[in-house]
Amino acid sequence: MTQGQHFLQIPGPSPVPERIQRAIDRQVIDHRGPDFQKLGHEVLEGIKPIFGTTQPVIIYPASGTGAWEAAIVNTLSPGDRVLMAETGQFATLWQKLAGKWNINVDFLPDDWRHGVDAAAIEAKLAEDKSHTITAVMVVHNETSTGALSDIAAVRKAMDAAKHPALLMVDTISSLGSAPVTMDAWGADVIVSGSQKGLMLPPGLSFTAASQKALAASRTNKLPRSYWDWQEMIAFNAKGFFPYTPASTLLYGLKEALAMLNEEGLENVFARHQRLAAACRAAVKGWGLEILCLDPKVYSPILTGIVMPAGHDADAFRKVALENFNISYGAGLGKVAGKVFRIGHLGDCNELTLMAALCATEMSLTLAGVPHKAGGVAAAMASFTQDNKKLRLSA
């Protein structure tokens, strides 16, 4: 029997704080009664600033995949053409889902080591003189690689091409951990989930829709029932849902929003940047390679680490789990077995990450993975330097 806490250092689902656990641990209530109506209004309004929007945010009892599908079936029609960027495994999965709905996807290829190439998007849109591309669909934080794409640059590219396509953004792993600014980005649809930066268990998905996207949903031709935005928005206006909601998770969402607001969103984002910088310092101290090759788009949510040639990432993860009760994210898709991922998102602080990095350094030794000593010391130095800066600026 393993003693002590399990260190869940995957990039989602992230650990659920005790405050949120306690908020969820309560009796269900009448989802047509006044107490639920109050809760419904609170969370439907309270989630909007996290998205950086004044537009409706629709909450489904679902995983992020449900939000992906809701975005597609409410805005597109069979045979529509969309433009997507192959930033990693989750962009690939969204592309496959679109294909199942008979959507034609122009998939811009990439090596899974960079963010979205806004120049390539602009060039592709500029070629589309007849505006046959209905939407540009991009992943903000690619959880499989550790790259945080520049969505403002994508919008700038679309504007430069003078193209009317909808802009749809997956923020499933970035919401609550990195700035998401729907209105400032000029995004039309943003999808997300509960189990990452919002620190909730899996089970809630979110779809924010602009007025342009809502107009498209009134005329597009894909069938839907459960995912219909219009019915949801009509019920949400009164604080209710058209079917039984996940009421206990909504109580958890209310608490999660309170926690984010108490810390302050800017402080939340700065904390994630500090954690990410320390993690990268450790990786460099070990002499290992970061999967993302562009420092400008390093993710504050996770760090992908490339294993040296001849060493299997899953075998290393097994050693770490069995010896130190820690879970890392596996390599996915094209990088399966070649990469492990350390999550540093949500309910995570300096000491949490330091414990994980200590386990990593010990596991590298036990697994016989060639590395330099000193990664943990490099992370500590990173935190110490950051703390000095914070004191000086206070």
**Neighbour-count burial for 10-45, b at 16+ CB within 10 Å, e otherwise:** bbbbbbbbeebeebbeeeeeebeeeebeebbebbbe
pLDDT at 3: 81
Contact call for residues 229 and 75 (beta carbons, < 8 A): no
pLDDT at 147: 98
pLDDT per residue, tens digit, the chain (394 aa), is 578 899 999 999 999 999 999 999 999 999 999 999 999 999 999 999 999 999 999 999 999 999 999 999 999 999 999 999 999 999 999 999 999 999 999 999 999 999 999 999 999 999 999 999 999 999 999 999 999 999 999 999 999 999 999 999 999 999 999 999 999 999 999 999 999 999 999 999 999 999 999 999 999 999 999 999 999 999 999 999 999 999 999 999 999 999 999 999 999 999 999 999 999 999 999 999 999 999 999 999 999 999 999 999 999 999 999 999 999 999 999 999 999 999 999 999 999 999 999 999 999 999 999 999 999 999 999 999 876 666 655 5
Strands (E), the chain: 7-9, 57-61, 81-85, 104-108, 133-139, 141-142, 147-148, 166-170, 189-193, 204-209, 289-290, 302-306, 326-330, 339-343
Contact call for residues 367 and 359 (beta carbons, < 8 A): no
**Neighbour-count burial for 168-178, b at 16+ CB within 10 Å, e otherwise:** bbbbbbbbbbb
Question: For residue 213, with 0-12 CB atoms within 10 Å meaning exposed, 13-18 middle and 19 or more buried, which class applies?
Answer: buried
In which residue are the tokens 């592309």 written?
Answer: 95
User: In the structure encoding, which two tokens stand for residue 9, read together?
Assistant: 């250092």
Domain boundaries, the chain: 7-13+264-393, 18-261
pLDDT at 189: 98
Name the superfamily (CATH) of residues 7-13+264-393.
Aspartate Aminotransferase, domain 1 (3.90.1150.10)
What single DSSP character describes residue 80? -
CA distances from 30 to 26, 36, 158, 196, 240 (A): 13, 7, 46, 28, 11
User: In the structure encoding, which two tokens stand for residue 1, read together?
Assistant: 């029997």
What single DSSP character describes residue 178? B
pLDDT at 389: 67
Contact call for residues 273 and 299 (beta carbons, < 8 A): no
pLDDT at 174: 98
**What is the CATH T-level fold of the domain 18-261, as seen in this structure?**
Aspartate Aminotransferase; domain 2 (3.40.640)
- In sequence order, which residues have a C-beta less than 8 Å from that of residue 375 and are 6 or more positions away? 281, 282, 283, 284, 285, 286, 357, 360, 361
Kindly state the helix (H) or strand (E) to which residue 259 belongs, with its residue range: helix 247-263
